[in-house]
């Protein structure tokens, strides 16, 4: 009987231990907070594109240059296109020659209306300024 009692006590104590462990496992605990910090790195590439500032060729501007050359009026005004290389500019001047002051520029394909032909291969524009006929064409450059 002692043995039976011992076995019963042993089983009872084991059940108590198992119940205690089960209760401990079911016990509510405060959840721990975990903070995860993330650092995002952004790389920015800046490309600088060189710019060209053009002298604006827009009226009304007046030409105060004294005419010392000969020019012949055209029967009707003629529209020409600036025929310069891409990225290049056609200078517009106060007189028919490179020695005269530059007052503006034309880009490739830009139109100009000419009203007279001056000596030395220059055209007078409807605004009273001059462009070299070397860089003018009657058709839009491609």
Beta strands in the chain (DSSP E): 71-82, 89-93, 102-107, 111-118, 122-125, 130-132, 136-137
Residue 79: pLDDT above 80? yes
Q: Which residue has the higher pLDDT, 122 or 45?
A: 122
The residue ranges of every structural domain in the chain are 71-137
CATH of 71-137, one of 3.40.50.1370, 3.10.20.90, 2.30.30.40, 3.30.930.10: 2.30.30.40
CB neighbours of residue 57 within 10 Å: 22
Tens-place pLDDT, residues 91-131: 999 999 999 999 999 999 999 999 999 989 999 999 999 99
E strand or H helix at 139? none
pTM > 0.85: yes or no: no
């Amino acid at each position: 009987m002692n043995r039976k009692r011992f076995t019963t006590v042993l089983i009872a104590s084991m059940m108590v231990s198992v119940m205690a462990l089960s209760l401990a496992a079911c016990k509510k605990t405060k959840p721990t907070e975990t903070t995860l910090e993330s650092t995002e790195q952004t790389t920015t590439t800046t490309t600088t594109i060189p710019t060209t500032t053009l002298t604006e060729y827009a009226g009304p501007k007046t030409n105060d240059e004294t005419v010392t050359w000969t020019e012949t009026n055209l029967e009707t005004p003629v529209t020409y296109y600036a025929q310069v290389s891409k990225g290049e500019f056609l200078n517009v001047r106060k007189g028919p020659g490179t020695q005269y002051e530059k007052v503006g520029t034309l880009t490739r394909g830009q139109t100009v209306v000419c009203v007279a032909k001056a000596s030395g291969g220059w055209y007078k524009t409807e605004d009273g300024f001059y462009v070299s006929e070397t860089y003018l064409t009657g058709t839009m450059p491609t």
